[in-house]
A and B are shown apart, each in its own frame.
Chain A
Amino acid sequence: SQQGEEDPQALSIQEGENATMNCSYKTSINNLQWYRQNSGRGLVHLILIRSNEREKHSGRLRVTLDTSKKSSSLLITASRAADTASYFCATDNTGFQKLVFGTGTRLLVSP
């Protein structure tokens, strides 16, 4: 079963613009992670935010978490064509490693 629903399903922007993706989930979580998947490849971990954190940064990535709304957002600033990929949120409800992935957002960054 899928825990997270992501919005939008697809996003098309120009290089240099910011991209924002949202994830909503249903149950309480221990942590929430974001992964990237390039076409035909495996997923790559981007960033993790714990349930007691509200915001986290890593390079051009900014993640927020609102546990009261059961939602998270991923912001990619100054996007590049190489950021073109699908982005998934994944929730860990128990802290015991079992991740439940969202439906994903397909991001297309045009040069």
Chain B
Amino acid sequence: DAGVIQSPRHEVTEMGQEVTLRCKPISGHNSLFWYRQTMMRGLELLIYFNNNVPIDDSGMPEDRFSAKMPNASFSTLKIQPSEPRDSAVYFCASRGDRSSYEQYFGPGTRLTVT
């Protein structure tokens, strides 16, 4: 298995631009999580999906952030418009069925907004 796949690995954009981060979870996993990691705030859960349905988006910082999961094998996190304070590493993770608690993380997308 290729593991959780994220793209792009690095993104540099200017303030005000739209940014779309992509994630392909491990095949067969039915839960997907988006996290953001910064030095100041550590690792924060932004949103998670179960069977493609958003369950908890209380961690999404602002309306500028949105996430979708149109099918079991693909999810996007969009920031529009982006701001310098959005600079962070964004991780996607997936998890199997309810009997398994372990989350599998992707390699992350390092976002820099100038």
| Residue A103, interface by CB 8 Å | yes
Secondary structure call for the B interface: strand
A99 and B103 within 8 A (CB): yes
Give the total of B residues in contact with A, Cβ under 8 Å: 23
Answer whether residue B107 sits at the interface, using C-beta atoms and an 8 A cutoff: yes
Which of the 9-residue segments B13-21, B43-51, B65-73, B76-84 touches chain A? B43-51
Residue B24 is within 8 A (CB to CB) of chain A in the complex: no
**Are A42 and B105 touching (Cβ within 8 A)?**
yes
What is the bound-complex CA distance between A45 and B101, given in angstroms?
A: 10
On chain A, the number of residues with a Cβ less than 8 Å from chain B's Cβ atoms is: 21
Contact between B56 and A103 (Cβ–Cβ < 8 Å)? no
B107 touches A42 (CB 8 A): yes
Q: How far does the Cβ of B57 sit from chain A's closest Cβ, in whole Å?
A: 11
CA distance A100 to B42 in the complex (A): 10
Any chain A CB within 8 A of the CB of B108? yes
Write the A46-63 contact mask toward B (1 if CB under 8 angstroms, else 0): 001000000000000000
